Structures are given as structure tokens and as C-alpha cells.
Structure 1
Amino acid sequence: MPVTITATTIAKAKSDSGPGCRRHDIVDARSRGLSLRVSATGVQWSLRYQMGGKDKRLALGDVDLWTIAEARSIVDRAQLMLRDKMGVPDEAWLDRMRSAMGKAEAVTLAAPDPAPRQVFAWTFAEGREKFLAEVHRTRRHDTWKDYSWKLCGEDLKDLDGTPLPLITRQQLAGILGDIHRSGRETHAQNTQRVLSRFWNWLAEDGQAAKSGVQPGIMHGLKAPEPSLIEDDTDPEDPFGPGYVPPMTEIGRIVAIARSGAVHDTVAAALELMCWTVQRRRTVVEARRQDFEALGEGQGGLWHIPPRSMKSRSKKAKRRPHTIPLPPVAWAVVQRMLDVETDSAWLFPQIRARRQGEELTHINPSTLTHMLGWLPGVHASPHDVRRAFATHGETTLGLLRTDTAAILDHNPDARDVTGAHYALHNGTHRTWPIMQAWCSAVEAEIAGAAARLESAVAIKAAVTAARKNGGGRVLLAAE
């Protein structure tokens, strides 16, 4: 309970201190935050205050250094400074008080104190929370997850309590250097990219006053250059980055999908991915309403909505990306459309990750993992797209504009005519492209099926790879 500290209080505190004394505080009733700390080693004046919702304590010095009136004056100044957000009572500030009141020699500081607007700005953790909330509102879930993983990692955790204006470009460059030297060179590059976007957002007009960040402060932030690799081929992993699956491998994936060795929903998704060479997220997010049948034996159309496209441009938001589906590709879609279900998704989630969660569609990573587990398959979802572009141009006689018309979700971004005037779905041009590709894949399926192991053997291989960590490890981004 607070008491009015007097000379008598101080005298008793001194007599109580010494060996065997249990440390305790005597709180002054006249000056908020002032107390005497009594312990076995002596009696000291102490200032207690709150900042950012946390209790802080500053030792003011021995009880004989200050009179009662001086101690109260110092504490009152500190509380006034905190109330008006003019600064923070710390050791440097206390040194100035000692000098101003004749208790010590004038102190020459190595650097001036930060401005109050810097000290009371958002901390790194507070700014990060606001930024990630905005990313979650405006960007896709995968983007928010990626940014969260990079900004909330161990590499940056020491910055959490630091006001954003006090974090320098050189400081962040040092952290990126540490990441790079640890062998995570790509992670250093990606973290730099996210940090730059984070700081650009902090400097925008909507939050600059609270963040205290000035525009351009992180301009020039770079991660160290990647290590020089004379030969980018890895003899121990010929199926690494840049791998182009042969057409026989594409045929094997479809043959396995049709063998019954893989769950029907996942198998159909894998098969549609091989026929249409679309991104894994685009495939799993397909809704039943996105498909249009053209009649018996004519196949259909897949109208990929802007929400499932990688591009977020305003042009892409207005125009779907239409993929022709020859009969052999449409058969996969029709098979899933014939399944009686209340789900709007073509490939509904098989089971919820957590009890009580709503079922949506299968996870994009399901396709990545399954390809990594399939015996005799080395391709990732991205490699399948690379096979279409490579074999399409070298073997099937397709032009670069042909393969781009299928792979590129935003072909009108640099085409004023396509964006504003030629408002058709372009299938008069893309039908021959998809027919050529589907015919090439179909030609490989029979041979792949003839060489295929039994469904039981494939299931066993998949189970073993999943449980024992076997199979090729594929990056989630693929």
C-alpha cells in the first residue's frame, strides 16, 4: 500500500537493509511510479512505469544520491514525458538528469536520442500484424501464408520489440546475410522480396503516421548474390529444376490415374492436369459450374474464372481463361460431374483436416505429393507444364504463341486489342492446339498401361513412399 515517503521512512528502510533482508518496495503515495527498493545490498530510488502495455523499471540510484523532493521531481518529469509522448526515461535520460541537477559530470552521448515519433511508432511485431492482416484481406491465402512464414520466422524474431523507424537497411541486410551464409540462399532472396514489400506498405499514406516509416528508406535492400555454380546440373538429381518429362512419363501418370491405384478424386485431378497443363491450384479450385458441355462426342470448354488465375490484373478479372477440352479430356470432367454430390467443387475435399471444418476442394499440395510418391514418375505439376511447352514446340510443331495461349492466364495484359476490342474466348485458335496435345498424350497411354505394375503394387509403393519419406521431394511451389 502506498505511503508518503519521509525522512523517517528512509531511515527505517536503511536499518532494514543488510544481510538477511528480503527485497521489497516502498511505494510513494505522492509521486506516481516512485518507490524505494529495499534489499540486502542497500536502498535505491526506483521509477516504475508502463509502455506498450508492459511494466518497466528504471533504477534512479542510491537513496542518498537524491533528496525526496529531487526524486519526486525526476519521476514527475518522466511521467509527464511519457504522457505527452516526448521520450522514454532510460539510462541516457537519467544521465542528463544527474548532470542537470549537479549530481554528475556532463555526459557526451555518442548519438542523439531517437525522436519521440520514432520511439512511439509501431514495433516490428505490430507493423507485421497490420501488414499481414491487409495481405489476408487483399491477396490469396497462399500468399498470406508465404508472407507470414517469412516475416514470423526465427531469423527476424529479435526485431519484434523494436520500433520500425529504428530498424535500418544495414540491419536487415545483415540478417539477410546471415540467412544466406547458413546455406538458405533462395530463402534470403525471398525474404528480401517480402521485407521490401512490407516496408513499402508501411510508408504508404494510410499507415505512415503510425509506422513512422519514411518512403524509400529500404530502397536498395538486397540479399547477397547467389553462389556461383559452374554446372547447374546435379548428377545425383537429374530430375531437379528444369526437368522436362518425356511424353512416356505423361502417359504413365494418366495410366496410373486410370488404374484404380489412386483415390478417384485425386486420380481425376491428376488426369485433368495432364490433359490441360494448368497450374495445380487452378485444377483443384475448378467448380462444376465452370464447365460447358458441347454435345455428344464434341468435348467441352473449361471457363477458368479470374479468381483461379495467377494474375490479379484488372484486365484478367473481367475475362475468364477458356480451355478447350477434346473428348478424351472431357471424359474426366464428365466422370466427376456424374458423381452425386452437394459440393460445388469438381474435386471435393475427401476429408477435413480438422474436425468441424467445412469441406472445400482437395489441397493443391495433394497433387504435388502424389506425383512425388508415384513409382516411376519424376515430374512435378510444374514439370508437366514444361513438357507441354517443350514437346509442343519441338515435336508437335506448335508456335510459342500457341503454347502461351494455353499456359498464360493473362494474354491480354500487353494486348490492347485483346483487352478491349476482340472480346471472344479465342477457342477458334486454341482447339487445334489442345487437340494436338491430347492426341500426343493419348498415344502414350496404351503403351504405359501395358508396362504398368498391378494396382496393388502401385498402392503399396505409394504407401511406402508416404510413410517412409520415399519418392522425390517436390517443392510446394511446383
Structure 2
Amino acid sequence: MAATYVRERVRLTAEHVKRAKAMVAAGKVPGRGQEWADDKVQGLLLRAQRTSVTWYLKLRTTTLRLGSADVLDLDTARDQATDARLKAKRGENVRGALAAYEASVAAGDDEDIAWAVAEFEAMKAPPEVLSDADRRLRGPWLWRDLVEEFLASKLAKLKGGYRDQYASYLRHEAFRSIEDRPVASLTITDLERCRNAAVKANTVSAARRCVQQGKEALSWAWRYHAGVSGLADCQYEWWARWSIEYAPGKRDHVPTLTDLVRTILVAEHHRTLGATEHATGDGTLGALWALVLTGQRTGQLTGTRRARAFPWPDRPGWVAVNWDGGEMKGGKSGGRPHSLPIPPEAWAIIERHRAACETAGEPVSAYLFPSIRGDGPVGQSALNQLLYRLEGKAKDPGKSKPVTRRKRNSTAGKPREELLERYGVAPWVPHDVRRALATFLDERRLGGAGSAILAHRAARSEDERERVEHVTRLHYAKGQRMALKAEGMEAWCRAVLDAYQAEKARLFPEAMPLAA
């Protein structure tokens, strides 16, 4: 069920406004939001949402936005509500008048000037009410129109696995305060408020993506749809000033083999991390094993289909798994096809976890790492989420969702024991495995094999086995270099499995079978 507003009818006072702003500042707005209906002025609402406090006037056929509580005080909101009701009955351009009054007050004009501006706007013919489709065709666009039109153009050019993530930043709740604003009416102040709301709701990193993609959408509209978007009179891209202070951190952590295999053991030994949570699925455990054994990127790895695994005729018992260019990292067009030989012992672990996901009487999943929900693969973020839980974190700190009602005694979202710390494991992220694999093979004069396994670009060198390669593109002239990859995979997987058995005997001598 969709979240609803918590509503209360009261005689509004300045204290209610203060309380609403405090709720937003503290991040304690319940559900979809909190509303206070004034019992003095009919239809006047004070609405607190996650990032804003706004005055509204509820009429029989529509709801009018009066303005932000940061701009209009209670007395002014009551006056505006009374006046707006009369204007609406007379068929005047009430929305235009309200927006003009708010903008004038926000700009610092005195009350007389603001009223004059609003009255002038009200005398203009009210805009024709258009459907969303007509407005997007004829203009002028609202912010939400810009977002949907831009995404319709942009998403088709992105790789399938990235589309939802990309769209989520432009549909972020931080933009809710401007979603019904004409694009032409926006100012740098409006955009900076959205940026600040995104920082508050998530992280600076997430807010940076919101800013970058918002600027990209505005520039796209200005270049290709200036007239219909309402940006025809803009002489330059003023939103280029919209920015955020952000310096991305550079990761250089190289987890040890002990860290990696202990993490697997902890995940296997602590399948259920909370009394009311689902146990870690075999598909997710299989993906964790595959990550450590192969060092492949999670987006490519978790979506691997069973049909992409073939017996490798050059080495009995070995399996070759491949991914096409669209599944590999490499920008808009994807990367280059990549094949990876996997030793029998390593493949047996992956296959054992896959088989454990099968249910009698139901179709076998098309994926190597089936999800416990639906018929798709485990999600790209599943491994990150598993590692967060093992670290004792309630959730990915970079993500935030509206609060939902939890079941009684639920442990979801609550801090957990820091299991990795208990077992002496330094925290790591999936991409760190690639650094660990490359370092391990480079130290054994197999740097070229490591780069081939990780699908890095080859550099010029006399000895291909020792070659260290740049991280930009995939393999070229020598095809898939399967023999070279096999040499590296054999050394790495043997080391991983030996370390696993040694740590299992040390930490969990009573532990389950290898891939239980």
C-alpha cells in the first residue's frame, strides 16, 4: 500500500510551522508526510514532507500550492488562501498569481509590490489545462516533463543494467519541490535547494550524481528543445553554476587471501543475521564465491546466464564462461567480449550453489546465481548489501528509502554485530578483489595473466606472462588468450581454496562441507 499523509485538524499557530520545520530538519517526517489542516481558514494546509514545508489550499476540484513556509508566514498564508479561493471562483489565473507573489516576496519586495505583481499576473488569461502528453508535446515543460522527456532519450543509449540506477537520480525525492514548476521559472537558488536536500537525504556522492544529471537534462533541453521546454530565451547555460563540493576518494585497499576466505566462511556460518530476516540465499553465496574466485565486476558477474558456460575442450573438467560486449564495462557501447576459463574445483563450488537454488517441480533458473525472489538473478547490489550486513551496518549508507512499517520484533534496519571485525577481517568492497587478484599474480610474475583475467588493456612488453596492463579496454589481437588466463586462474583459485580450507579448520573446525 502506498504511504499516505498523517493528517491533523488544528487551529494553526506559529508553533506548528516551527514544529514542521524541526521535523524536516531532524529527518523525522512520518510516512509520506505530515499535514495540519487549519480550522480557521477553510482548505488551508501546512504540509511537511521529507525535504520541505509548504502551504497548500485544498479546493473542491484541485489543490493549489500557496508557497514555501520559508517564504510565507502563517498570516500571509491565510491571506493568500482567502484571496486564492476568490480568484479561483472568478476563473482568474490563480496559480500564476500565487507563484508571482511567492517569487516577489522571496526576492525581498515589500508586501505592496508583491500584491501588485500577483494582481497583474491574475488578470492574465489562465493557461489552458493540458494533459501531460499535450503539455510535453506543446510546452512549456514542467520539471517533471523535462525529466521524463530527457530519460526517454537518454536511457535508450545506456546499457540495460545501468538504466534504473541512472533514472533514480533524476527522480530523486530532492526534486519533489520543483517537479510541478515550469522549467523556465527555475533559478540557481531552486536548484541549490534540491542539491542540499539530496545531500541531507543521502550522501554528497549521491547528490553529486543528482546535480550532474540535472545539468545534463537542462543542457539537453536547451540545445534540442528550447522552444517547447521554455528555455528559448536563455542565452547561455546558467545552470552550469550549479555544483557541489566533492572530492571522490581513491581506494587502494588490497584485501588479503585470509580476509577474502574468512568473509566467505563468516557468510556461510552466519546465514541469518537477524531473527526476522531472510537467510542469505545460495545464489548470493554462490556469487560471493564466484567474485573471490574470478575477480569479475559484479554487474557482469551476477547476471551471468547458465547458457554462457561451456566445457573447455583444451582442458578436461574446465568450464569457459563468456560475456558479450554489452555486458562488459566499456561506456555507451559496452566493452569487448570476454571469456574466462574456470578450473574444475572452482566451478564445482559455483555449480553446487546454483543447484541448491533449484526447487523440485519448478523450472530451472536461466541464471548461474538465481535470486530467491522471482525468476531473475541476484541483484547487482546483493554482494554489497551482504558485506554491509557482515560489517554490522543496517544498510548501504549511500541509499535511503521512505520509512515503512516493520513487523513486530523485526531487526531490519537495526545495527548488527560487526562480524567481520569479530573474525579479524578488514572491511572490503567487491572491486577490491580485482586488486587482490592482480597483486597476487603480479608477485608471481603472472601480471599479464591477471590483466587478461580482469579484461584490462594489454601494454607492450617482451614477456606476455609478466606484462602489467593498463585499465582502460579489453583484449585485442590475440583473441581471448585462454591459455594465459588459465595459468593465472589455476594459481589464484588453488591459493583461494587452500586458504579457505586452512581458515575453516582454524575458525570453524565443525563447519559444513566446502560449499554448504
| TM-score (structure 1 length as normaliser) | 0.58
Cα deviation for residue 424 of structure 1 reads 2.0
Q: Read off the aligned partner of 2:260 and give its amino acid letter.
A: I
3-state SS in 2 of match to 1:48: coil
Pick one of 209, 223, 246 that aligns with 2:256.
246
Cα deviation for residue 179 of structure 1 reads 5.3
Cα deviation for residue 136 of structure 1 reads 4.7
What residue in structure 2 maps to residue 450 of structure 1?
A: 505
3-state SS in 1 of match to 2:219: helix
What residue in structure 1 maps to residue 381 of structure 2?
A: 365
Q: Read off the aligned partner of 1:248 and give its amino acid letter.
A: T
Q: Give a deviation string over 1:352-372, Cα, whole Å, max 9, x none.
A: 3xxxxxx21122333223233
Could you tell me the percent identity over the aligned residues? Answer: 24
* Residues 435 and 454 of structure 1: CA distance in aligned 2, closer, same or farther (over 3 Å): closer
What residue in structure 2 maps to residue 345 of structure 1?
A: 367
Within-5 A mapping of 1:25-424: 47-48=90-91, 91-93=119-121, 120-140=139-159, 143-169=162-188, 171-173=190-192, 175-176=194-195, 184-205=203-224, 207-213=225-231, 217-218=237-238, 220-226=240-246, 242-255=252-265, 263-295=281-313, 297-314=316-333, 316=335, 319-335=336-352, 341-352=363-374, 359-374=375-390, 375=419, 376=423, 377=425, 378-393=427-442, 395-399=443-447, 402-408=449-455, 422=477, 424=479
Q: Read off the aligned partner of 1:361 and give its amino acid letter.
A: P
* Residues 140 and 416 of structure 1: CA distance in aligned 2, closer, same or farther (over 3 Å): closer
What residue in structure 1 maps to residue 51 of structure 2?
A: none
* Residues 159 and 258 of structure 1: CA distance in aligned 2, closer, same or farther (over 3 Å): closer
* Residues 336 and 198 of structure 1: CA distance in aligned 2, closer, same or farther (over 3 Å): same
Q: Read off the aligned partner of 2:438 and give its amino acid letter.
A: A
Aligned Cα RMSD in Å?
Answer: 4.6
Mapped contact 1:321–1:409 kept (Cα < 8 A): no
Q: Read off the aligned partner of 1:150 and give its amino acid letter.
A: Y
Cα deviation for residue 173 of structure 1 reads 4.2
Q: Read off the aligned partner of 1:435 and give its amino acid letter.
A: E
In 1: Cα distance, 2:473 partner to 2:161 partner: 30
Cα deviation for residue 57 of structure 1 reads 8.4
What residue in structure 2 maps to residue 434 of structure 1?
A: 489
Task: Name structure 2 gaps, 5 residues minimum.
Answer: 1-41, 43-81, 99-116, 126-135, 272-279, 391-418, 460-469
* Residues 152 and 337 of structure 1: CA distance in aligned 2, closer, same or farther (over 3 Å): closer
Mapped contact 2:311–2:320 kept (Cα < 8 A): yes
Cα deviation for residue 143 of structure 1 reads 3.5
* Residues 44 and 446 of structure 1: CA distance in aligned 2, closer, same or farther (over 3 Å): closer
* Residues 382 and 153 of structure 1: CA distance in aligned 2, closer, same or farther (over 3 Å): same
Cα deviation for residue 271 of structure 1 reads 1.0
Q: Give a deviation string over 1:203-251, Cα, whole Å, max 9, x none.
A: 353x4442234696156335233489xxx8xxxxxxx954332111222
* Residues 449 and 321 of structure 1: CA distance in aligned 2, closer, same or farther (over 3 Å): same
3-state SS in 2 of match to 1:269: helix
3-state SS in 2 of match to 1:351: coil
Mapped contact 1:305–1:321 kept (Cα < 8 A): yes
Cα deviation for residue 443 of structure 1 reads 3.0
Cα deviation for residue 451 of structure 1 reads 1.5
3-state SS in 2 of match to 1:314: coil
Mapped contact 1:300–1:327 kept (Cα < 8 A): yes
3-state SS in 1 of match to 2:431: helix
In 2: Cα distance, 1:346 partner to 1:368 partner: 18
3-state SS in 2 of match to 1:303: strand
Mapped contact 1:177–1:223 kept (Cα < 8 A): no
Q: Read off the aligned partner of 1:252 and give its amino acid letter.
A: R
Cα deviation for residue 307 of structure 1 reads 3.6
In 1: Cα distance, 2:386 partner to 2:87 partner: 67
Cα deviation for residue 454 of structure 1 reads 6.5
Cα deviation for residue 302 of structure 1 reads 1.2
3-state SS in 2 of match to 1:311: coil
1:425 equivalenced with 2:425 (yes/no): no
Mapped contact 2:183–2:230 kept (Cα < 8 A): yes
Cα deviation for residue 414 of structure 1 reads 10
3-state SS in 2 of match to 1:122: coil
Cα deviation for residue 301 of structure 1 reads 1.2
In 1: Cα distance, 2:244 partner to 2:307 partner: 48
State the aligned residue count. Answer: 343
Cα deviation for residue 58 of structure 1 reads 6.6
Mapped contact 2:261–2:500 kept (Cα < 8 A): yes
In 2: Cα distance, 1:208 partner to 1:370 partner: 46
In 2: Cα distance, 1:442 partner to 1:324 partner: 16
Mapped contact 1:202–1:208 kept (Cα < 8 A): yes
Q: Read off the aligned partner of 1:441 and give its amino acid letter.
A: V
- Bigger drift between 257-266 and 272-281 goes to 257-266
In 2: Cα distance, 1:416 partner to 1:44 partner: 63
In 2: Cα distance, 1:45 partner to 1:447 partner: 78
3-state SS in 1 of match to 2:291: helix
What residue in structure 2 maps to residue 17 of structure 1?
A: none
- Bigger drift between 151-160 and 275-284 goes to 151-160
Q: Give a deviation string over 1:138-186, Cα, whole Å, max 9, x none.
A: 4356644334443333432222222213324464246436656899432
3-state SS in 2 of match to 1:428: helix
Q: Read off the aligned partner of 1:364 and give its amino acid letter.
A: Q
In 2: Cα distance, 1:385 partner to 1:159 partner: 42
